[in-house]
Amino acid sequence: MKRFILLFGFTLAIKCFAGEAKDEQIHNCPFCMLPIDNVGPPKHLENDTISGFGMNVSQRRSMFKAMGAHRFFQHHHSHIHPHQHQQPHHQKKKRSMICTRFSCRNLASFSVLPKGAQSYVNGKWVPAASGKIFDVYNPYSNELLTKAPDCEVTDAKQAVKAARDAFEHWSLGTTAKQRGAILQKWAQIITEKEKEMGEILTKEMGKPWPEARGEVLFSAGYFEWYAGEARRIYGQIVPSASPNREHFHIREPIGVVAMITPWNFPSAMIARKASAALAAGCSVIVKPAHETPLSALALAQTSEEAGMPAGVFNVLTTSAENLPGISRYLCETTDVDCVSFTGSTRVGKLLLSQSASTVKRVCLELGGNAPFIVFESADLDLAVKGTMSAKVRGSGQTCVSANRIFVHEKIHDKYLDKLKAAVAQQVVGDGMDSKTTQGPLINGKAVEKVEFLLDDALKKGAHLVCGGKRTAASCFQPTIITNVSNNMEIAHTEIFGPIIAIQSFNNEADVLRRANDSRVGLAGYLFSQNMAQIHRVTRRMQVGMIGVNEGLMSCVEAAFGGVKESGLGREGGPQGIDEFTQWKYICVQH
């Protein structure tokens, strides 16, 4: 019987690889024999509220077709079931249930990850000098995924030396065209490996696999964009006041750049910085978040395959314990010329002050508290779709997440009804389950913060419309609360969770004053069909980016960044290069 099952399974798998499996058929997983859900791209992925990243519906459809999300060709079981600490999903359900997992692969089989706990320094995979390691967990299952090297300052010094040594050749010994060609190749490799890299991302961060794959493709998009921008780092010749002098302005790479990145976009937040810095001719050391080191390591592996010279792109992983020492060293050493950070405003301020001693350039992409305004004339379907993209994506754990939702009192109830219907469609769970639209929060602490904010709001008079509960592990239901007011913590704090907190307003001046009443100003959104109002409000909103009738505005072509305590500088778009270049004036007398 066992043999028969295996034979049957393999035959079916081979057919499927050969593309012979028909969409209409219902298949069984060749390993556990449960029927594979044959729903095709899950309905929530057919609309453009979730996976986003500048892909239109038809691009996303073809992505899903290419993914074969409805088939099981990626459905390889590992010997140890991924859900070690939970009941395995197959066992939990009766045999008549449908297996909806996209894949059950073990991380050891991933070609883009190092074999063992190793960082990537000077073109080599190396363990921490101390031999220490730290654990990396799956936020959905709490399963121990793997271990990563716990680097210390000694290792950071090696990485900085490698980047320093590589800088001269990379900046002066290569042309912009050559650098662009490597970046272009890198983009191509990432695109080819996006399934695998997306799965790694889902496993370490929790977001649904389609969303994770969207992020990986988004990362590839940055490498592709800056492959082109490398050749457009133009200088100036300014007419001189003297007949025998010429004034040239040229732009040079700033040097060695240390990058510290967060867990919420473990791939894209590295790609957005590194692509621009490398295009400009800088060498790079990345220190990813300890929660999500694997996507960074996968980027290192793919950089090598793209032909990146040794020492130009380095990745150093470290635990929370060793992090302060390493980051202080990166900020204070004169061998690093620029610190580029994405993360919380609190840590950004700390790094800025630590970097002051060497007056190095500091680029900061920090926290937000985005106002999302729905005016009386808004197209409510669009506004609800925008709310879902701006709020539910990443389980609300994005810096541009709609944090304070202001709805005109005349359309408040209608908007709420439509929003409730959209929220009811959400399925919270394991990101590797094809039915999941919303993954877990990053850890238990994040859930506790959300619970605290909700509790405080409800105590102070907010109404709970739906949700409000932690479900499995770190999962939290998408939640709507109304009647939110300024005396509640939630009105001032970056929620970083799936709570849609609604306040009502009745006039433009008042809502603008409330929207701008924040020390941070990253993203803002407004929904209106009144053109004059759109112009008035966009000019007056104190944020770095505005989505007008659009809830998902991030794209590689546009400048991302904030005002006030949301940061310094811009990433992405033509402006992203500015962060990593400096002007040199050359005066020539003849």
Min dist CB 331 to ligand NAP, Å, is 8
Residue with smaller CB distance to ligand NAP, 182 or 370? 370
Min dist CB 364 to ligand NAP, Å, is 8
Residues 6+ apart with CB under 8 A from 165: 122, 311
Min dist CB 496 to ligand NAP, Å, is 6
| SS3 assignment for 518-546 | CCEECEEEEECCCHHHHHHHHHHCCCCEE
Residue with smaller CB distance to ligand NAP, 102 or 263? 263
Residue with smaller CB distance to ligand NAP, 180 or 562? 562
Residue with smaller CB distance to ligand NAP, 90 or 570? 570
**Residue 147: burial class (beta carbons within 10 Å; 0-12, 13-18, 19+):** middle
424-454 as b/e, with b when 16 or more CB fall inside 10 Å?
eebebbbbbbbbbbbbbbbbeebbebbbebb
Point out the residues that are catalytic: 365
Residue with smaller CB distance to ligand NAP, 343 or 468? 343
Residue with smaller CB distance to ligand NAP, 102 or 265? 265
- Contact assessment for residue 90 and residue 34, using Cβ atoms and an 8 Å cutoff: yes
Q: How far apart are CA 72 and CA 516, in angstroms?
A: 49
Min dist CB 398 to ligand NAP, Å, is 7
- Contact assessment for residue 374 and residue 397, using Cβ atoms and an 8 Å cutoff: no
Residue with smaller CB distance to ligand NAP, 307 or 324? 324
E strands present in 104-235:
119-121, 124-126, 133-137, 144-149
Measure the CA dihedral 199/225/297/120, to 10°: 170
Angle between helices 209-229 and 194-205 (to 10 degrees): 120
Amino acid identity for residue 387 in this structure: T
Extract the tokens encoding 501.
Answer: 């907190």
**Residue 181: burial class (beta carbons within 10 Å; 0-12, 13-18, 19+):** middle
Min dist CB 444 to ligand NAP, Å, is 14
Q: DSSP string of 440-506?
A: --SSHHHHHHHHHHHHHHHHTTPEEEE---B-STT-B--EEEES--TTSGGGTS---SSEEEEEEES
Angle between helices 57-67 and 209-229 (to 10 degrees): 110
Extract the tokens encoding 197.
Answer: 């890299």
Min dist CB 133 to ligand NAP, Å, is 14
Note the residues at the interface with ligand NAP (CB under 6 A): 260-265, 269, 289-291, 320, 323-324, 327, 342-344, 347, 350, 365-368, 399, 494, 522, 560, 567
Residue with smaller CB distance to ligand NAP, 140 or 170? 140
- Contact assessment for residue 72 and residue 16, using Cβ atoms and an 8 Å cutoff: yes
Extract the tokens encoding 428.
Answer: 């919270």
Residue with smaller CB distance to ligand NAP, 7 or 320? 320
Give the closest residue to 39 by CA, choosing from 103, 98, 105. Answer: 98
Q: How far apart are CA 495 and CA 526, in angstroms?
A: 19
- Within 10 angstroms of residue 15's Cβ, the number of other Cβ atoms is 14
Min dist CB 156 to ligand NAP, Å, is 12
Min dist CB 93 to ligand NAP, Å, is 34
Radius of gyration, CA atoms only, the chain: 25
Min dist CB 34 to ligand NAP, Å, is 37
Min dist CB 260 to ligand NAP, Å, is 5
Give the residue closest to ligand NAP by C-beta. Answer: 343
State the residue for tokens 């993209």: 389
Residue with smaller CB distance to ligand NAP, 233 or 366? 366
Measured in residues, the chain has a length of: 590
State the residue for tokens 């999302």: 372
Q: DSSP string of 436-456?
A: -SB---SSHHHHHHHHHHHHH
